[in-house]
Amino acid sequence: MAVSLGYWVLFFAFVIIMLALDLGVFHRGNHAPTMKSSLLWSAFWIALAFIFSGIIWQTMGSTHALDFITAYLLEKSLSIDNLFIFILVFGFFNIDLKYQHRLLFWGVFGALIMRVLFIFGGAALLHRFVWLMYLFGIFLIITGVRMLFEKDEQQDLNDNRFIKLLRKFLPIKEGVTEPHFIVKENGKRYATQFLIALLFIEGTDLLFAVDSIPAVLAVTQNTFIVVTSNIFAIMGLRSLYFALSGILPMFRYIKYALAIILAFIGTKMIFNEGMKALGSTWHISNIVSLIVIVTLLIISIIASVIVSRVQERRKF
């Protein structure tokens, strides 16, 4: 189903207005978000996503609404990896909590632009080269299996190649306390740790998008649904980070759930495309995908909480 230009204009106008209100009104000053406000903002963005799914139901039908909800929850769950990166980056660069929201705003802004370009490119390729579905499926299965068996190791960003590359080509002024990306000293411009942190966040999101966008395209190839579900998931990411940052390390089994989800989605891509090529109506529906995603996330969270509590009791 082709979506008219008016839908696109209205949606992106809404996104621009919300971004302007976010930075220019609700978070105008530099302050540390409280747990309460972050939870409320997270609930607000989740509620908006489900309200939007209701609008899709009324205007495009129940099938597209289900596709949106499945794609949204899939992207939301896969974006949890970004939250762990935020903790790592802010700790490494010693970014004060009151400056983190503004930095993440620009990180999300850049991620939105990159993901929209990725989605349009990916959808166009799949429309022209259907066999890419098999390659994407194999890629997601391999990524999921690797994630499932890789060891948890504390990352040291001093050894990160991307950080080393930035430090090699950019003149950097260390120890800047004010949230400026570029500072000028003795007539020379320097990048600050805020800019390096922002570029690293953008770079890692680009890598995560390589996994998540093919996965969402397995749910639906309707570009409007894929773009809007991605944007809603990313827009609420900052609030979710501030709401959960203190307890994120406790969710030790989330990674395994995400790995299985990626492998499942990859299998679904290959199976559905294969059945279609054989002329069969057998397929793994998005309802099944939705159930698998939600079930795995719930199980991983419950298991993480139980194990964490048991370990805490053993300390005493």
The tens-digit pLDDT sequence of the chain (316 residues) is 567 788 889 998 988 888 888 766 666 666 667 777 888 888 888 999 999 999 999 988 989 999 999 999 988 888 887 787 888 888 888 888 888 888 888 888 888 888 888 888 888 887 788 788 888 889 889 988 988 887 765 566 777 777 888 778 878 777 777 778 888 877 788 888 888 888 888 888 887 787 788 888 888 888 999 999 999 988 888 888 887 776 766 777 888 888 898 899 889 989 988 888 888 888 888 888 889 888 998 899 888 888 888 777 776 5
In a domain, 175, yes or no: yes
Asked, for residue 142, whether it belongs to a domain, the answer is: yes
Is residue 52 in some structural domain? Answer: no
Domain count, the chain: 1
16 within domain boundaries: no
pTM of the model: 0.83
In a domain, 58, yes or no: no
Residue 108 domain boundaries = 75-222+237-314
**Gap between the Cα atoms of 267 and 258, Å rounded:** 14
Has residue 44 been placed in a domain?
A: no
Structural domain contains residue 37? no
